[in-house]
Amino acid sequence: MDKILIHGGHPLSGSIKVSGSKNSSLPILAATLLTREPCVVYGVPDLSDTHYMLQILMHLGAQVERASGTVSVTAEKIQSVAPYDVVRRMRASVCVLGPLLGRCKEATVSLPGGCVIGDRPIDLHLQGFEALGAAVRVESGDIKVFAPKLTGAVINMHGKFGPTVLGTDNVMMAAVLADGVTVIEGAAQEPEVVDLATFLNKMGAKIEGAGTRRIIIEGVPALHGAEHRVIPDRIEAGTFLVAGAIAGKEVTVKRVNPEHVRAVTDALTRCGLAINVKDDAISILPNGHASALDLTTEPYPGFPTDMQAQMCALLSTSKGTSSVTENVFPQRYMHVAELKRMGAQVELEGATAVIDGVDCLLGAPVMASDLRASAALVLAGLKADGITEVSRVYHIDRGYEHLDEKLSELGAHIERVKAA
Ligand code: UD1
C-alpha cells in the first residue's frame, strides 16, 4: 500500500485549481441510468470512487467512455442487479437504487459494508421508495426494491441527524419517472443535491425547489440525454484553505464557488485568519497562529462534517481551547487518536472534541482511517516538526484528485512512496 511522507515546516504559497465535485459526480453518473440516450458529464474528478461508480454502471450494462474529466455514458440496455463484489468498495454505490427503480421499476443492490465514520443506515432511502409504492426487502445482504408502478407521494427525508443527502438524491431520481407529483419535505439542501436536480432537469425532469427544504417533482414518462459540468468540489476547496491556514504564507484556491464554502471561510475568519474573495478565487493569508474556536457540524448551509477532521488538525495548533461537536456523524473521530500521536492534546467527550492548542506537532507514523481523516493527518504533517508518514493513503485517493501533487505545487515537501 502506498504511503505519503510529509517533511513538515515548509510554508505553502501560490494557487491551486479545485477539481470537480466527487459528491456531485457520483449521483450524477448514477442518474445517467435513467435514460437510454447518451449523456456527457464534464469535470468528473479522477478518483477511485468515480472509477468504482463507472465500474458499477458498466456492470449494469452501460457503455462508458472516459477521457480525462469527460465521461460519456450510454445506458441503452441495462439490467438491475448490482452484487456485493461490484458495490462493496463504496458506500455511495447505494445511489444507483433510485435510478434503477425509476427506470426498471425494480432493483437488487447489495448493501455496502461497514464504515468507520459510524453506523450509516439507509432506512430513510427505503421509506422514501416505499412511499412511492415500492415493496422493499433486505435479504441475504441485498436490498431488493420492486414496484409495478411508482406514484408520487409526500416523503420526509429528515432523520435523527438531519436530512439525508444521498437519500434525497435517491428518492428524487426514482420520483422523476413516477406518476404524479412527489413532494420531498425535510430535503437535504447541499449544493450537490442542487447540481443533481439541475442535471435531471436538463434530462427533461420537472424538479423545483432543490436547495430548499421542500423539493417538488412532477413525474414525466421518460428522460432524454443531456450534457452537464459538475460543480467544483467544495470540500477539496475547504481542505486547501485549511492547509493554507495551517502552513501557508498565502494560498489561493481557484475555481471555487465562494457561497458553497462560506461556513468554512466564516470559521477561518473567526479563527483570526484573513480571507479574500474575488470572483471564483479565495485567498487565505495567515498572520501567525490561528485562535481557538467553538465549532459544530451541521447539514448545509452549516459547517460540513466533511471538514471537521481538517479543522481539528488546524485547531490542534491554534491558541487556546477549542471545542468541536459532530452533529451529523457523532462517531466521526478516528483522526483524534492519530493526531494525539503527533502531540495534539484532544479529549473526546461524547460527540465533542475538546482541543487544547499546542505550539507545535511532531512528525510520526500515522494511519489514515477514512477519507477526510486522512486529509487531516496530511495537513497536520505540513506543520509538524520532522517527518509524518501517512499509511493507507488509498483513503485519500478515494476523494482527492492528486492531493500530494497539488500540495507540492504549493511548496510542500511531500512524497508518495509506492507500495513495493
Ligand atoms: C453524504 C456525503 C458525505 C457527507 C454526508 C453528510 C456523498 C457521496 N457523501 O453522505 O461525504 O459526509 O452526506 O453531509 O455525497 N441517516 C439515517 N438514515 C438514512 C440515511 C442517513 O439516519 O437513511 C443519517 C446518517 O447516519 C447520518 C446523517 O443521516 O447521521 C446524514 O447522512 P447522509 O446525509 O445520508 O450521508 P450520505 O448521503 O451517505
Indicate which atom in ligand 1 lies nearest the CA of residue 305.
12
Maximum C-alpha span of the chain = 63
| 66-121 confidence digits (pLDDT tens) | 998 999 999 999 999 998 888 888 889 999 999 999 999 999 999 876 555 566 78
Indicate which atom in ligand 1 lies nearest the CA of residue 92.
8
pLDDT at res. 89: 85
| 237-269 confidence digits (pLDDT tens) | 999 999 999 998 899 999 999 999 999 999 999
* Nearest-angstrom CA–CA distance, 396 and 411: 19
Examine the pLDDT at 17 and tell me if it is beyond 80. yes
pLDDT at res. 118: 63
Assess whether the previous peptide bond of 258 is cis (omega < 30° from 0).
no
Q: Which residues line ligand 1 (CB under 6 A)?
A: 23, 26, 92, 120-125, 159-162, 164-167, 188, 192, 305-306, 328-329
Find cell 417538488 and name the residue: 216
Task: Lowest mean pLDDT of 89-103, 117-131, 181-195, 400-414, name the range.
Answer: 117-131
From the list 52, 95, 103, 49, the residue with the least C-alpha distance to 78 is 103
Task: Kindly calculate the radius of gyration of the chain based on its CA atoms and give it in whole angstroms.
Answer: 21
Distances from the Cα of 160 to the Cα of 156, 165, 250, 298, 299, angstroms: 12, 13, 40, 12, 12
Quick one: DSSP state of residue 332? -
Nearest CA to ligand 1 atom 12: 306
* Average pLDDT value for residue range 203-224: 98
Look up the CATH architecture of domain 22-229. Answer: Alpha-beta prism (3.65)
Quote the distance between the C-alpha of residue 407 and its chain's center.
20
Best of 161, 165, 298, 326 to mutate for ligand 1, by most ligand atoms within 8 A of CB?
165
| 366-399 confidence digits (pLDDT tens) | 998 889 999 999 999 999 999 999 998 888 999 9
**CATH number belonging to domain 2-18+232-418:** 3.65.10.10
What distance in angstroms lies between residue 270's CA and the mean position of ligand 1's atoms?
A: 27
Does the pTM surpass 0.95? The reply is yes
pLDDT at res. 217: 98
Nearest CA to ligand 1 atom 17: 121
Best of 155, 166, 297 to mutate for ligand 1, by most ligand atoms within 8 A of CB?
166
Quick one: DSSP state of residue 77? S
Q: Is 104 a catalytic residue?
A: no
172: left (phi > 0), else alpha (psi -120 to 50), else beta?
Answer: alpha
- The residue extents of the domains of the chain are 2-18+232-418, 22-229
Provide the pairing of β-strand 38-42 with 227-229.
Answer: parallel
- Identical topology for domains 2-18+232-418 and 22-229: yes
* H-helix segments, 179-253: 191-202, 234-247
pLDDT at res. 121: 87
What distance in angstroms lies between residue 331's CA and the mean position of ligand 1's atoms?
A: 13
* Nearest-angstrom CA–CA distance, 355 and 353: 6
Catalytic residue among 115, 271, 312, 360: 115
* Nearest-angstrom CA–CA distance, 227 and 61: 20
* Average pLDDT value for residue range 172-201: 98
Does an H or E element contain 219, and which?
A: none
| 304-347 confidence digits (pLDDT tens) | 999 999 999 999 999 999 999 999 999 999 999 999 999 999 99
* Nearest-angstrom CA–CA distance, 100 and 109: 9
Quick one: DSSP state of residue 113? -
Indicate which atom in ligand 1 lies nearest the CA of residue 299.
14
Task: Lowest mean pLDDT of 62-71, 179-188, 286-295, name the range.
Answer: 286-295
Nearest CA to ligand 1 atom 8: 23
